[in-house]
Amino acid sequence: MQAIVHQSLVKPIMIMGVARNIFWANALVTMDLVFFGAWWLIVLSITIHIVARHVCNQDPEFFDLLINYYAKSSDYLEG
C-alpha cells in the first residue's frame, strides 16, 4: 500500500536556500544592528548567508542537527 505524501512533510523549509530559523536569526540580528548604525554588518550578513546556503545545499538538515547536538550535549555534561 502506498500513500501520497506532500513534499513539505519530507523536505525542510528553506528561505532563499537557507534553513528557516537561520535565515530569520541572521535577518533580525542584521536589521537590529543596522538600525543602530552598524551599516558595515550588511557585508558580514551576506557572507554568513552565502556560507549557510552552501552548507544547506550539502545537507539541508545540518543546522537542525547542530542545534539539537548542542542542546542535548549539556545534559550529558552535568552529573
Q: Would you kindly state where each structural domain of the chain is located, as residue ranges?
A: 14-73
Q: By the 8 A CB rule, do 11 and 60 touch?
A: yes
What are the tens digits of pLDDT across the range 4-46? 888 878 888 889 999 999 999 999 999 998 888 888 888 999 9
- Report how far residue 42's alpha carbon sits from residue 64's, in angstroms, rounded to the nearest whole number: 25
What is the pTM (predicted TM-score) of this model? 0.75
Give the number of other Cβ atoms within 10 Å of residue 60's Cβ.
Answer: 16
- Report how far residue 16's alpha carbon sits from residue 19's, in angstroms, rounded to the nearest whole number: 8
How, if at all, do strands 14-15 and 18-19 pair? antiparallel
Which run of H or E residues covers position 15? strand 14-15
Residue 74: pLDDT above 80? no
